[in-house]
Copies of this chain bind each other. A is one copy, B any other.
Amino acid sequence: MEIFYAKEAAGSKVFLDQEESVHCVRVLRHHVGDEIVVVDGMGTMMRCRLTDDSPKGACAEIMESSCGWGGHDYSLTMAVCPTKNNDRFEWFVEKATELGVDVIAPVIGERSERKVFKTERSRKIALSAMKQSLKAKLPVIEEPVTVKDFIASAGSGIKMICYCFEGETLRRSVEDVLKGVPKGAKITIMIGPEGDFSPEEAQQALENGFIPVHLGPSRLRTETAAVTATTAVYLHFIE
Contact = CB atoms under 8 A, between A and B. Distances in A.
| Chain A interface residue number, banded | 20 to 34
Contacts of A219: 70, 98, 133-134
Interface in A88-127: 91, 95, 98-100
A173 B238 contact: yes
A47 interface: no
A132 B88 CA distance: 15
26 contacts: A70-B218, A70-B219, A72-B217, A95-B227, A98-B219, A98-B221, A98-B224, A99-B218, A99-B220, A99-B224, A100-B218, A133-B219, A134-B219, A135-B218, A175-B235, A175-B239, A176-B239, A216-B235, A218-B234, A227-B227, A228-B231, A228-B234, A231-B232, A231-B235, A232-B235, A235-B235
